[in-house]
Amino acid sequence: MKFFDPHVHMTSRTTDDYQAMADAGIVALIEPAFWLGQPRTGVASFKDYFSSLVGWERFRSSQFGIKHYCTIGLNSREANNEALAEQVMEVLPLFIYKEGVVGVGEIGFDDQTPAEEKYYRLQLELAKEANLPVQIHTPHRDKKQGTERSMAIALEHGLDPGMVIIDHNNEETVKSVLDQGFWAAFTIYPFTKMGNERMVEVVRQYGPERIMVNSAADWGISDPLAVPKTAALMKMKGISDEAIRLVTYQNALDAFGKSGQIFEEEFGGEIDQSQKFNGNTILRGGQQPRIDKDSLFIN
C-alpha cells in the first residue's frame, strides 16, 4: 500500500527516517510550519525556516522518492510575541505562493490568548485571498472549547469548511468537526495524542469520509511510521482496504489538493540517489547510494 502523511515535521527528523518511511510505503508528505521547541528571536530565523521547508527539506525528501509539500504559517505560540509576529506577517505572502505550498498552517490556538486570535484571523484572510486550504492546530489544554472556537472563527471569516483541516482530533471533538463539514485529521502520537488502537475504533464508528491520519512526528518522542503502522493495525482489525486507503492516503490528497499544487502523477518517482539530474547531494563524495545495513563493510 502507499501512504500520504499530511502532517510530519521532517526538519526535526533524520535522513534514516526518510529511508524508513520510503520503505514503509510513504510516497508523499506535508510538513507544516511549526514551533521549533524554543522561540525564535528575529524574523530572519523565520525566513530561513520557511526557506528550508520549500528548499532543502523538499530536496532531502526527494532523494527517497517522497514528494514533500508544506504549509506555511505563523504558529500560535509565537503569535504571542506581537512585535515579531508583525514582521513575520510581512514576509508570509512571499512564501505562501511558492510552488508546493499546499496550505496555510499550522495555525490556530495554543493558550487561546487575544494575540493568538488576532494572527489566526489575519492568516485566515490570507488563505482566503490565496484560495489555499487551512491546516488548524487545536490546543492540548481546553481542547474541546478551543476546537469549537477555531471552527466558529473560520466560518465567521467566510471560509468553506471543505477548505479547512482541523487537526489533532480525538473522540470528543470528531463528531462536531464532521457535522460542520470540516476535514478531521487525527494525530497518532505516543502518550499525548491518539493511540492507533483508538483510531481504529474511530474509523469503525464514523466511517472513512473526511477523516485522515497523520504522525505529526517532530522533535518529541514520536513515530514517523505512525501512518503505515495504523494502516496495518486497521487491516488486522478488519477495516476494509478501501477505508484504509481513504484515511491514510486519498482524503489528505483531496483536502490539500484543493491548493492546485498536488499532482499525484509525480508521486513515487523512481528512487535513484545517484541520478545526475537532481544531483547526488545528500550523498557525500564517493558515498554509495543507500546503505546495506547487514553488510560489515563500509564503503
Adjacency order of strands within the sheet including 164-166: 3-5, 26-32, 67-72, 101-108, 134-137, 164-166, 183-187, 211-214
Which of residues 44 and 291 has its CB atom nearest to other proteins in the complex? 44
Who's near 133: CB < 8 A, 6+ residues apart? Answer: 71, 102, 103, 104, 105, 127, 163, 164, 165, 255, 256, 258, 259
Q: Is residue 49 near other proteins by the rule CB under 8 A? A: no
CB of 10 to other proteins, least distance (A): 15
Cβ atoms of residues 213 and 199 within 8 Å: yes
What is the rounded CA–CA span in Å between residue 161 and residue 152? 10
Position among 20, 91, 232, 271 found at the interface with other proteins (CB under 8 A): 91
Position among 40, 77, 98, 121 found at the interface with other proteins (CB under 8 A): 98
Among 12, 73, 78, which residue's Cα sits nearest to residue 42? 78
Among 70, 77, 112, which residue's Cα sits nearest to residue 92? 70
Which of residues 39 and 55 has its CB atom nearest to other proteins in the complex? 55
CB of 288 to other proteins, least distance (A): 12
Peptide bond into 106 cis (omega under 30): yes
Which of residues 113 and 288 has its CB atom nearest to other proteins in the complex? 288
Position among 37, 41, 99, 191 found at the interface with other proteins (CB under 8 A): 99
Q: Is residue 56 near other proteins by the rule CB under 8 A? A: yes
Position among 45, 176, 180, 280 found at the interface with other proteins (CB under 8 A): 280
Q: Is residue 260 near other proteins by the rule CB under 8 A? A: yes
Write out the binding residues for other proteins, residues 58-87 only, by CB under 8 A. 58-59
Write out the binding residues for other proteins, residues 100-139 only, by CB under 8 A. 100
How far CA 70 is from CA of 9, 28, 180, in Å, comes to 9, 11, 25
**In this chain, which stretch among 162-170, 173-181, 244-252, 278-286 interacts with other proteins, using CB under 8 A?**
278-286
Q: Which residues bind other proteins (CB under 8 A)?
A: 47, 50-51, 54-56, 58-59, 91, 93-95, 97-100, 260-261, 276-282, 285-286
